[in-house]
């Protein structure tokens, strides 16, 4: 039950919020990083630290000369090791288990990562949340503020007169703040690039953490699943061994050094191997879709025709000439702001707002409207008794 309570606390990363509660300031790929991936990593961290799921994380067999809890603590805190040359020998006739055997003149592979797995998972969860934190502070609630009062509002719940007044205020803000949002867009695209750099960097980060075995981990597991049962060798056992060796040294009663050879069962690696095989596939998928998202953003920046298609999908009853003219008068920052507005208000209200903007773009032929000294707008609150009057006061 304690584990369930901890996991429930992480559910806030992926919970669905109504539009009226929180503005949407990114896309689905962006949310896959800071909500889904961070939640996955934090949940994995909780599972790994919940010892009651598998019992003790390490349990060592020894000759009884040293207390059991001392051996277990020593081997957990220090390290255990396996013998790579004994890795592929037949169990029962040649070796007692994979990687066990006589260590004399044999190379040792030391395993000391397992006590750091929870910290690593938690740190990775923070890394995946950081780009969102940067963008959230950079964005500073702009979309939330200018859509307050019309975000999540349907055409049936608000009178037409009041709805048109709110749309007019929003359209007026877009007009007076024209070509002032390029820094806003730069912050978004920068954080989008940070998402891609972060997921690719995490692949190599985990690979270094696991001793260079993570980059090919998934492909090795796929090969293993396609092999014949009698001859195949599980690559997960090599990276996450279930049984290892540990050497404990002390002085005897007569002052002579004593060596105690122990056999340690790492039950925690049963969870670790499943967690990291899932993370391998998830990181690969996430890096691909993040790369495609950056490519899509680059196309939007360099090709105005692509922006026209995006606007056209939500701009109802608009001609191609109107959409082309609208996009021609917008910088990439203005387009990004309009795109976010389209995600936060209904399609009909968004289409009407764009129609009003197009009607006000006659000045664009002669020159772009100059921006006033302050570009902030009061929120459009649904409780204003006289919306048209408030709009006039804002205009003044």
Please give the pLDDT value at position 357.
Answer: 86
Across the beta sheet with 243-251, what order do the strands follow? 59-61, 257-265, 243-251, 80-82, 109-111
Please give the pLDDT value at position 38.
Answer: 95
Q: What percent of the chain has pLDDT over 70?
A: 76
Please give the pLDDT value at position 137.
Answer: 95
Residues forming a β-bridge with 155: none
Q: What is the pLDDT of residues 178-210, one digit of tens each?
A: 889 999 999 999 999 999 999 999 999 999 988
Instruction: Report CA dihedral (25, 27, 32, 33) to the nearest 10 degrees.
Output: -60
* Band of pLDDT at residue 372, cut at 50, 70 and 90: very low
- Where is pLDDT greater, at 313 or 386? 313
178 three-class SS: coil
335, pLDDT greater than 90: yes
Q: What is the pLDDT of residues 344-368, one digit of tens each?
A: 888 888 888 888 888 877 544 544 4
Q: Which long-range contacts (CB under 8 A, 24 or more apart) does 34-37 make?
A: 34/128, 34/129, 34/131, 34/132, 34/133, 37/125, 37/128, 37/199, 37/282, 37/286
Please state the domain extents for the chain. Answer: 2-395
Please give the pLDDT value at position 11.
Answer: 55
Could you give the residue ranges of the DSSP H alpha helices within the chain?
2-10, 28-31, 38-49, 68-77, 117-139, 142-146, 160-176, 182-209, 217-225, 235-239, 268-302, 304-314, 320-328, 332-344, 347-359, 363-366, 387-395
Q: What is the pLDDT of residues 214-261, one digit of tens each?
A: 888 888 888 777 665 555 566 677 788 888 888 888 887 777 787 888
Instruction: Report CA dihedral (234, 235, 236, 240) to the nearest 10 degrees.
Output: 120
Please give the pLDDT value at position 370.
Answer: 39
Instruction: Over range 98-109, report the average pLDDT.
Output: 72
Per the rule left: phi > 0, alpha: psi between -120 and 50, beta: everything else, 66 is: beta
Q: What percent of the chain has pLDDT over 90?
A: 28
Mean pLDDT estimate for the chain: 79
Q: What is the pLDDT of residues 57-83, one digit of tens each?
A: 788 887 777 888 888 888 888 888 887
Please enumerate in sequence order all residues whose Cβ is within 8 A of that of 342, keeping only pairs 6 or more positions apart, or say none.
314, 350
Interior angle at CA 70, CA 66 and CA 72, nearest 5: 110
């Amino acid at each position: 039950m304690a584990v369930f309570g901890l996991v429930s606390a992480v559910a806030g990363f992926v919970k669905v919020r109504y539009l009226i509660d929180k503005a949407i300031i990114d896309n689905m790929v962006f949310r896959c990083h800071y909500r889904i991936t961070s939640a996955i990593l934090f949940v994995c961290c909780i599972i790994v630290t919940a010892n009651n799921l598998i019992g003790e994380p390490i349990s060592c067999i020894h000759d009884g000369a040293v207390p059991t809890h001392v051996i277990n603590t020593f081997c957990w805190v220090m390290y255990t090791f396996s013998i790579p040359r004994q890795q592929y020998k037949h169990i029962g006739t040649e070796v007692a288990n994979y990687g066990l055997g006589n260590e004399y003149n044999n190379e040792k592979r030391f395993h000391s990562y397992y006590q750091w797995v929870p910290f690593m998972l938690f740190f990775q969860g923070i890394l995946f949340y950081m780009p969102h934190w940067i963008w959230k502070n950079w964005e500073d609630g702009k979309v939330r503020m200018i859509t307050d009062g019309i975000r999540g509002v349907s055409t049936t719940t608000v009178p037409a007169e009041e709805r048109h007044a709110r749309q007019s205020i929003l359209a007026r803000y877009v007009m007076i703040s024209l070509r002032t949002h390029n820094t806003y867009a730069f912050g978004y695209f920068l954080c989008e690039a940070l998402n891609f750099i972060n997921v690719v960097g995490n692949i190599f980060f985990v690979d270094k953490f696991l001793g260079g075995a993570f980059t090919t981990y998934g492909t090795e597991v796929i090969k293993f699943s396609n092999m014949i049962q009698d001859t195949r060798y599980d690559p997960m056992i090599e990276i996450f061994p279930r049984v290892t060796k540990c050497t404990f040294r002390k002085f005897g009663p007569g002052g002579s050094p004593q060596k105690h050879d122990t056999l340690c069962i790492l039950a925690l690696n049963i969870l670790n191997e499943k967690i990291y095989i899932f993370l391998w596939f998830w990181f690969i998928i996430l890096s691909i879709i993040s790369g495609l998202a950056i490519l899509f953003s680059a196309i939007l920046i360099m090709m105005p025709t692509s922006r026209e298609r995006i606007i056209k999908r939500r701009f109802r009853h608009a001609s191609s000439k109107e959409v082309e003219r609208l996009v021609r008068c917008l910088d990439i920052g203005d387009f990004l702001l309009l795109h976010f507005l389209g995600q936060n208000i209904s399609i009909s209200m968004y289409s009407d707002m764009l129609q009003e903007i197009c009607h006000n773009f006659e000045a664009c032929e002669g020159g772009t409207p100059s921006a006033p000294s302050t570009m902030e707008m009061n929120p459009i609150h649904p409780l204003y008794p006289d919306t048209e009057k408030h709009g006039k006061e804002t205009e003044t």
